[in-house]
């Protein structure tokens, strides 16, 4: 797989672009995830023409439609930022991004819970950074995350799983449109979708079964929307345990009673969160190889992102 293109707030890469001339280098993003990703850096404040260093800014007014204002001299930067952001978005459309990682708490780049100050100078954490909002409104289905939330292993795994899946889907889009390509992609991703949303699993199964009833463009669009919606929903030990038991069903005839007992125990220990997901997955991968299950061999659920990222060691 070629590298995945992701937008990122420039200061997270260690560039000295912040208002105080500093940066917010994040080593996980540069050194670990960076091995699989090609970043497209975006610093709204510098790219809209503000200097380094510069006066710091915050959001003011209505949390749903705040103004971007410098704190000391009260210069309103809203129009300048909005105009620049709209042009930058058109430019970013050509980049074929699979997601964006924003710098948290920034009045320009923060994705959520950014402070918005009222006329008395009191903050409420209900705002969205001005560029981040325009970006997310324009690309509603793209995976987005903030660097601070990567400390939560579940959010980290979810985001990374989504960008790898979107990249695989984009590879399907690069090929000639055909119903067979959608069916093939769906067949490989079925259990991954089930682990996020049994409801989407059913809806998407029906869509693919009736693929012939839809014009190709409509089929691709519907499928893509459902895919991104389903993966946005979080997995849980309960949902994953159901998928693991579903997987176990494929070995019903082959597993010895001892092997069955052991696998059931491991799944149950995972469901109770005594052990991480990687443990039952490794055991099932062993049986997939041992009993040569071609259908399971192609299931992305067993291998959705590089093992080296160790994402399933912590969920
Ligand atoms: S938070 Fe956004 S605007 Fe601020 S320095 Fe980082 S990239 Fe630039």
pLDDT in tens, the chain (315 residues): 799 999 999 999 999 999 999 999 999 999 999 999 999 999 999 999 999 999 999 999 999 999 999 999 999 999 999 999 999 999 999 999 999 999 999 999 999 999 999 999 999 999 999 999 999 999 999 999 999 999 999 999 999 999 999 999 999 999 999 999 999 999 999 999 999 999 999 999 999 999 999 999 999 999 999 999 999 999 999 999 999 999 999 988 899 999 999 999 999 999 999 999 999 999 999 999 999 888 999 999 999 999 999 999 989
Separation of CA 10 and ligand 1 centre (Å) = 6
CA dist., res. 150 & res. 268, Å (int): 27
By most ligand atoms within 8 Å of CB, the mutation choice from 106, 132, 135, 146 for ligand 1 is 106
Are the CB atoms for 134 and 89 separated by under 8 Å? yes
For residue 252, the model assigns a pLDDT of 84
Global pTM reads 0.96
Ligand 1-lining residues (CB < 6 angstroms): 9-11, 17-18, 43-46, 103, 106, 108-109
> Could you tell me if 34 and 8 are in contact, meaning their C-beta atoms sit under 8 angstroms apart?
no
Centre of ligand 1 to C-alpha 115, Å, is: 15
Distance 44 CA to ligand 1 centre (A): 6
Helix, strand or coil, per DSSP, at residue 6? strand
Paired strand residues for 6: 39
Tokens 């030990």 locate to 237
Measured from the CA of 110, which atom of ligand 1 is nearest?
A: 1
Cβ-based neighbour number of residue 131 at 10 Å: 29
Nearest Cα neighbor of 106 from 115, 97, 117, 98 is: 115
What distance in angstroms lies between residue 292's CA and the mean position of ligand 1's atoms? 50
- Ligand 1 centroid distance, CA of 134 (Å): 15
Say how many Å lie between the CA of residue 23 and the centre of ligand 1: 9
Return the best residue to mutate from 17, 105, 148 for the ligand 1 pocket (most ligand atoms within 8 A of CB). 17
Long-range contacts of 196-203 (CB under 8 A, 24+ apart): 196/230, 196/231, 196/232, 196/233, 196/234, 196/235, 196/239, 197/229, 197/230, 197/233, 198/239, 198/242, 200/226, 200/229, 200/230, 200/233, 201/230
Token pair recorded at residue 160: 């990374």
Q: Are 95 and 40 in contact (CB under 8 A)?
A: yes
Cβ pair 165, 304 in contact under 8 A: yes
Tell me, in angstroms, the distance from the centre of ligand 1 to residue 128's CA.
13
> Which residue CA neighbors atom 6 of ligand 1 most closely?
11
What lies within 8 Å, CB to CB, of 110 at 6+ separation is 102, 103, 104, 127, 128, 129, 132, 146
Grouping H, G, I as helix, E, B as strand and the rest as coil, residue 130 is helix
Question: Nearest 5 degrees, angle CA 51-CA 53-CA 57?
Answer: 85
Looking at ligand 1, which atom is closest to the CA of residue 42?
A: 7
Q: What is the pLDDT of residue 1?
A: 76
């Amino acid at each position: 797989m070629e590298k995945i293109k992701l937008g990122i707030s420039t200061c997270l890469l260690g560039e000295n672009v912040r208002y105080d001339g500093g940066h917010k280098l994040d080593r996980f993003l540069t050194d670990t995830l960076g091995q699989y990703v090609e970043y497209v850096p975006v610093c709204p404040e510098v790219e809209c023409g503000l200097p380094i260093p510069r006066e710091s800014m915050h959001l003011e007014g209505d949390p749903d439609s705040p103004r971007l204002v410098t704190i000391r001299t009260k210069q309103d930067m809203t129009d300048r930022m909005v105009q620049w952001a709209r042009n930058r978005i058109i430019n970013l459309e050509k980049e074929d991004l699979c997601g964006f990682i924003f710098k948290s708490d920034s009045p320009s780049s923060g994705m959520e819970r950014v402070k918005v100050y009222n006329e008395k100078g009191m903050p409420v954490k209900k705002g969205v950074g001005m560029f981040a909002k325009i970006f997310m409104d324009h690309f509603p289905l793209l995976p987005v995350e903030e660097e601070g939330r990567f400390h939560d292993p579940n959010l980290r795994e979810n985001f990374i799983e989504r960008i790898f899946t979107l990249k695989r889907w984009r590879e399907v889009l690069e090929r000639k449109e055909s119903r067979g390509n959608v069916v093939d992609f769906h067949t490989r991703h079925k259990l991954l979708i089930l682990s996020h949303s049994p409801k989407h699993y059913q809806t998407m199964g029906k869509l693919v079964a009736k693929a012939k009833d839809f014009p190709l463009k409509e089929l691709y669009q519907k499928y893509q929307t459902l895919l991104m919606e389903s993966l946005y929903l979080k997995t849980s030990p309960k949902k994953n345990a159901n998928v693991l038991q579903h997987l176990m069903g494929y070995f019903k005839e082959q597993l010895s009673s001892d092997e069955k007992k052991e696998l059931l125990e491991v799944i149950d220990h995972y469901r109770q969160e005594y052990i991480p997901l990687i443990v039952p997955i490794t055991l099932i991968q062993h049986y997939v190889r041992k009993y040569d299950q071609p259908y399971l061999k192609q299931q992305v659920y067993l291998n959705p992102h590089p093992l080296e990222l160790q994402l399933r060691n912590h969920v």
